[in-house]
Amino acid sequence: MKGRKPSTINSTAGALVKAPAPPAWLSPEAKKEWKRCIRPLIERRILTQSDLGQLENYCIAQGRAREIEGMLQISFDLALCRAQDKALATARQIAAELGLTPVSRSRPVLAGNEEDDASPYLD
């Protein structure tokens, strides 16, 4: 990504305060991922109704990678390895956009949740 990274991100005014149920059409593995990652996003107040599509895409990709892993444990197939690699890359990219990776969580600081950020050495 090019350009300057934001130093703070304001918690969104339209942020969801209650975790919605996973869509019924998600696979069982994707539903598990939804339930695992929705709570931190709600607690940080960065997930809005319009972000749910990206969250669905993330859960689909992560669920697909897990399902393929189960198939690979039964029988190795190079085409399945490629499909799993693509699903994992997609999941990793979307996870970074949603703030689900350690690096993406450490970059921006939510405005309003900061401790006194003034250095004691500046007095």
- From first to last of the 123 residues of the chain, give the pLDDT tens digit: 566 665 555 556 678 888 899 999 999 999 999 999 999 999 988 889 999 999 999 999 999 999 999 999 999 999 999 999 999 999 999 999 998 888 877 765 555 544 545 555 665
* Residues in the chain, total: 123
For the chain, the 3-state helix, strand and coil shares in percent, each to the nearest 5, are 60, 5, 35
* Helices 78-98 + 52-74 axis angle, to 10: 150
Q: Locate the domains of the chain by residue range.
A: 25-102
Residue 43 tokens read as: 């607690």
| CB neighbour class for 78 (10 Å; exposed up to 12, middle 13-18, buried from 19) | exposed
CB atoms within 10 A of CB 38: 20
Give me 3's structure tokens: 């350009």
